[in-house]
Amino acid sequence: MRILLLSPPTTSAIKAVVGTTGPPLGLAYLASMVKDGHDVRIVDSLAEDYTYEDVERVIKKYDPDVVGITSTTSMMPDAYVVAKMAKTFNEDVKMVMGGPHVTFVPERTLRECPYIDYIVRGEGELTFRELIDSLERNRDPSSIPGLSVNLRGKVKNNSPRPLIEDIDTIPVPSYDLLPMEKYQVNGVRFGTVMTSRGCPFDCAFCSSSLQFGRRWRGHSDSRVIEELRHLHEKYRIHEIEFLDDTFTLNKPRTMRIARRILEEGLDISWSASSRVDIFTEEVAAAMKKGGCHTIYFGIESGSQKILNFIGKGITPEQSISAVKKAKKQGLNVLGSFVIGFPEETKEDIRKTIKLSKKAGVDFAQFTIATPYPGTRLWDYALSKKLILTFNWRKYTTLDPVMKLKNFTAQQITKMFQRAYLSFYLRPSYLIKDLIFRKGFIFRRAIPNVIKMGKSAIGSG
């Protein structure tokens, strides 16, 4: 069969700021499961800067039997356009969707887009392979675990698919089907690797951990090294971003992998994420030695009341201490901060902005709390009737989509802008930016934040 896997054309806030996006690993994993025996192509519309017309041209030329689309929440309207386009061209094409959004709202998705035939929920590799096998053999796929089936408008949700026990059994993602030369930052090619899946924590706003479940499962050290070597040798990649929800969860393993990168002579530098409460100086030292340059911490809030509400299980003091350990070992720190939870007050937000500056992080990423489907925040917002819009395009973390007790949508957008400007327009920060980053933040990031804030105010 001819199988076309694609990410739909859309505008990306990340691409607007840093000028690039990462490879769509989910599609590359799916491709690796079915490419033996089938003709598989991947279209990464974001990396290729494809318009709908470009995608339509590809569909008409390739004439696929199956089209698989992966989509985040904010890209759903674009995914629907592509699904309709493919079905209009060939009504027999089988439309499949996967990803964290559709996993948690299959009925709503099929109601919004009747052109979709199947939804792959949760961890998709085995479900997708079984679906392709069954389509090829003209068998009824309606009992495949993890699949939701569109039965002429009625949705049949099959039983959930158990998580894959040994994730080393999943082949290395099909990087060969991706435009690897397009993923570059400042002229340096970069790749993404996921060395583990799942997160045992339960933060109210987190959608990234839901797709792969609460049980942490790691690749073996040798598989991680194999993937890194493959990216380095075949695609001349020197920069890696580890996409694990929390790379440092298993400390001995983290230190082993960092050591192996060094011992194997892999000429790569890399970044990864960690919770602040499990980060130790020993781990920081090992990571730095192994080539890590930046660690990403989910600091989230300077208000303990808000940290408790989201169930993060950390304190602001733990964040300050973790940043100190990272800085002592020479790592850059990117801190993530979220504002705009339903009961948040001006004082809570003030504490968060203050912490962003006091903690000593090199970069701060502020976002507006967004109730993604499947999260506890989604359930909370639905039950309290706080959802302002189901226009998925707004679910970017840059637009307010929840009714808040103490702020209007416009006010929270202004606070969001203020948070960015207050962090990045400090004289001490600007001087550092000018000296060490040729003014990148001032030239590129800040104007984009102002632009995004303006469009959010205009449409919120």
Q: Which of 105, 206, 268, 409 binds ligand SF4 (CB under 6 A)?
A: 206
Provide, rounded to whole angstroms, the least separation between the CB of residue 273 and ligand SF4: 8
Stretch that binds ligand SF4, among 24-32, 203-211, 260-268, 425-433 (CB under 6 A): 203-211
Name 256's Cβ contacts closer than 8 Å, sequence gap at least 6: 221
Is residue 32 at the binding interface for ligand SF4, with CB under 6 A as the rule? no
Q: Is residue 369 close enough to count as binding ligand SF4 by CB under 6 A?
A: no
Q: Is 298 in the site for ligand SF4 (CB under 6 A)?
A: yes
CA dihedral 406, 410, 412, 418 (to 10 degrees): -130
Length of the chain, please?
A: 460
- Provide DSSP, 144-209: -TTEEEEETTEEEEPPPPPPPS-GGGSPPP-GGGS-GGG-EETTEEEEEE--EE--S---TT--TT
Q: Of residues 223-252, which lie at the interface with ligand SF4 (CB under 6 A)?
A: 245-246
Q: How near is the Cβ of 268 to ligand SF4 at its closest, in Å?
A: 24
Given a contact cutoff of 8 angstroms between Cβ atoms, the answer to whether 190 and 241 are in contact is: yes
Give the span between the Cα atoms of 387 and 403, in whole angstroms.
6
- Residues that bind ligand SF4 (rule: CB under 6 A) add up to a total of 11
Q: In the complex, what is the shortest distance from the CB of residue 310 to ligand SF4, in angstroms, rounded to a whole number?
A: 8
Residue numbers 249-278 binding ligand SF4 by CB under 6 A: 275
Cα–Cα distances (Å) from 143 to 69, 99, 157, in that order, read 21, 20, 9
Amino acid at 391: N
Closer to ligand SF4 at the Cβ: 275 or 351?
275
Tokens of 84: 């309709």
C-beta of 156 vs 214, nearer to ligand SF4: 214
Nearer to ligand SF4, 10 or 254 (CB): 254
φ and ψ of 213, to 5 deg: 80, 170
Which lies closer to ligand SF4 via its Cβ, residue 167 or residue 206? 206
Establish if 199 lies at the interface with ligand SF4 (CB under 6 A): yes
Among 29, 50, 201, 212, binds ligand SF4 (CB under 6 A): 201
8-state DSSP, 278: G
Span from 171-179, 195-203, 347-355, 363-371 in contact with ligand SF4 (CB under 6 A): 195-203
Binding of residue 123 to ligand SF4 (CB under 6 A): no
Sheet of strand 363-368: strand arrangement? 184-185, 188-193, 239-242, 269-274, 292-300, 332-339, 363-368
Contact present, 356 and 377 (Cβ < 8 Å): no
CB of 201 to ligand SF4, least distance (A): 4
φ, ψ of residue 96 in degrees (nearest 5): -125, 135
Does 208 participate in binding ligand SF4 (rule CB under 6 A)?
A: yes
- Per CB under 6 A, which of residues 132..171 are in contact with ligand SF4? none
Shortest distance in whole angstroms from residue 206 CB to ligand SF4: 3
> Of 39-47, 194-202, 216-224, 365-373, which segment contacts ligand SF4 by CB under 6 A?
194-202
By CB under 6 A, residue 209 contacts ligand SF4: yes
Which region among 105-113, 177-185, 205-213, 258-266 touches ligand SF4 (by CB under 6 A)? 205-213
Based on its alpha-carbon atoms, the radius of gyration of the chain, rounded to whole angstroms, reads 22
Cβ-based nearer residue to ligand SF4, 90 or 336: 336
Maximum pairwise Cα distance, the chain: 66
Name the minimum Å distance from CB 200 to ligand SF4: 7
Q: Which of residues 379-438 bind ligand SF4 (CB under 6 A)?
A: none
Residue 298 CB, nearest distance to ligand SF4 (Å)? 5
Q: DSSP characters for 192-256?
A: EE--EE--S---TT--TTTTT-SS-EE--HHHHHHHHHHHHHHH---EEEE--S-TTSSHHHHHH
Q: Which residues bind ligand SF4 (CB under 6 A)?
A: 199, 201-203, 206, 208-209, 245-246, 275, 298
